[in-house]
Structure 1
Amino acid sequence: MTAGSVETDKRLAAEYAASLVQDGMRVGLGTGTTVAPLLPALGARGLRLRCVATSPATAAAARAAGLAVEPFESLTELDIAIDGADQIAPGPWLVKGGGRAHTREKIVAAAAARFVVIASGEKRVERIRPPVPVELLAFGTASTLHRLGHVVLRGGPPSPDGGVIADWTGPVEDPAALAARLDAEPGVVAHGLFGPELVTDVVVASAGDLAIRAPR
């Protein structure tokens, strides 16, 4: 699969997701390269939307596309959220967080009545594999790492909210069990495993064809 075909597939999935948005909706906007073509596709429709962005980069790009972006403070619910994924496994189980914004992305997904995941075909996997992004509190990081094991600091900038970004590098034999283990650790802010309870739609474009998992 060439880089050009991957970009074409990302745009195809993004444009389909943009078509699901209706006038007056409250919309959550994800972060990453698959979301990039979504923003101009939404802006071109000229809808009256209230948008929430999961990262400063997405907020800036959305405003440049003509979308109204507001802080996620007064809104309690969203009608739809659209985001990409690093891995999509059966379930569906997702891995997200390559862009360091998985905590915000999970909050937005949980607030949305409909969470639409868009991706190109190479993101589909038979089973989740490491690394799995993890956001940690800066306080007590060394102690948290010691208790968890198999978690290494990624380096680079923090999350949009100042958290330390690391990655689970151990086995992922059971995504639900690993998610529960990470959720139980006080030093973990959030991890990049998104379970089936969060996901309503999966839209994957591959070689110009769309595969769509409709809402439950």
Structure 2
Amino acid sequence: MTAATDPVKLMKQKVGKAAADLVKSGSIVGLGTGSTTAFAIQYIGERLKSGELKDIVGVPTSFQAEVLAKEYGIPLTTLDAIDHIDIAIDGADEVDPQKNLIKGGGAAHTREKVVDYLADQFIVVVDGGKLVDRLGSVFAVPVEVIPMAVTPVMRAVAKLGGKPELRMGVKKAGPVITDQGNMVIDVKFDSIDDPVNLEKTLNNIPGVLENGIFVNCADRVLIGEVKDGQPVVREM
């Protein structure tokens, strides 16, 4: 099977395109991180190049988003230079029926949270495999921690009933280091009954910068699925 006919890749492209189509000329756009969002960035760039979109500036949530935006010709700005974000497009690792999310599989959740919460409209792009009945069913909660606080934070999350694990690098010896120069602890909870309070509780642990629970922020969730070998997109 070639990449061109891989139904999963085609489905991610289709969801990314559906999100990119929601961007209007003159918008400030939050550019998220991850494989599906990467296609949205590509399509925003193509719409700009063709002249269908004009006067777009992007706010990247990670080095990955920054590199892709430059590659596809999307001008970038910073939060210092703007007073609002019209629309943000980002992925998620889990989405529950209330549109609460777990993010941070790519360790970019701190910057994603800043940008996604600021946006007037936050569009989440996922494949159907990311839908769960309850947060924490499959995915651990990523917690970004300043390096000196790793051990006490791991103790504190264990007291909350979580199983903490320091995220280690792939093709890199030692732990994953975020774009901010911090470490990530992945915390598995047996069940997250109250994501709103858990998000606050985790962020109140000294040394924690931000965690990957996103509550009450997603406006629309676009879901890609493969049905009868064909990619389809539906909205939650």
Q: Same fold (TM over 0.5)?
A: yes
Tell me which residue corresponds to 1:101: 108
Q: Does the alignment pair 1:134 with 2:157?
A: no
Structure 1 CA distance, aligned partners of 2:192 and 2:168? 26
Shift in Å at residue 36 of structure 1?
1.4
Which TM-score applies when normalising by structure 1?
0.92
Unaligned runs of 5+ in 1: none
Tell me which residue corresponds to 2:153: 144
Where in structure 2 are the equivalents of 1:75-114 lying within 5 Å?
75-114=82-121
Shift in Å at residue 71 of structure 1?
2.7
Shift in Å at residue 164 of structure 1?
0.9
In our comparison, the structure showing a higher alpha carbon Rg is 2
Is the Cα–Cα contact under 8 Å of residues 29 and 51 in structure 1 kept in the other structure? Answer: yes
Q: Does the alignment pair 1:153 with 2:162?
A: no
- Select the residue among 63, 88, 99 that pairs with 1:56: 63
Query: 1:107-164 CA deviation, whole Å, 9 max, x = no partner?
Result: 0011100000001111111222241111011232211211221222112231111121
Tell me which residue corresponds to 2:47: 45
1:20 partner amino acid = L
Shift in Å at residue 27 of structure 1?
0.3
Is the Cα–Cα contact under 8 Å of residues 27 and 87 in structure 2 kept in the other structure? Answer: yes
Shift in Å at residue 93 of structure 1?
1.3
Structure 1 CA distance, aligned partners of 2:117 and 2:196? 17
Tell me which residue corresponds to 1:204: 223
Unaligned runs of 5+ in 2: 170-175
**RMSD value over aligned CA atoms?**
1.5
2:166 partner amino acid = L
- Select the residue among 163, 168, 171 that pairs with 2:190: 171
Aligned length: 210
Structure 2 CA distance, aligned partners of 1:71 and 1:84? 21
Structure 2 CA distance, aligned partners of 1:180 and 1:171? 18
* Over 3 Å off, 4+ runs: none
Identity %: 34
Is the Cα–Cα contact under 8 Å of residues 172 and 178 in structure 1 kept in the other structure? Answer: no
Is the Cα–Cα contact under 8 Å of residues 76 and 111 in structure 1 kept in the other structure? Answer: no
Which TM-score applies when normalising by structure 2?
0.84
Is the Cα–Cα contact under 8 Å of residues 100 and 217 in structure 2 kept in the other structure? Answer: no
Residue 166 of structure 1 aligns to a residue in which SS? strand
Structure 2 CA distance, aligned partners of 1:172 and 1:191? 16
Shift in Å at residue 49 of structure 1?
0.7
Tell me which residue corresponds to 1:25: 27
Residue 60 of structure 1 aligns to a residue in which SS? helix
Residue 223 of structure 2 aligns to a residue in which SS? strand
Deviates more, 1:197-206 or 1:164-173: 164-173
Tell me which residue corresponds to 1:36: 38
Residue 44 of structure 1 aligns to a residue in which SS? helix
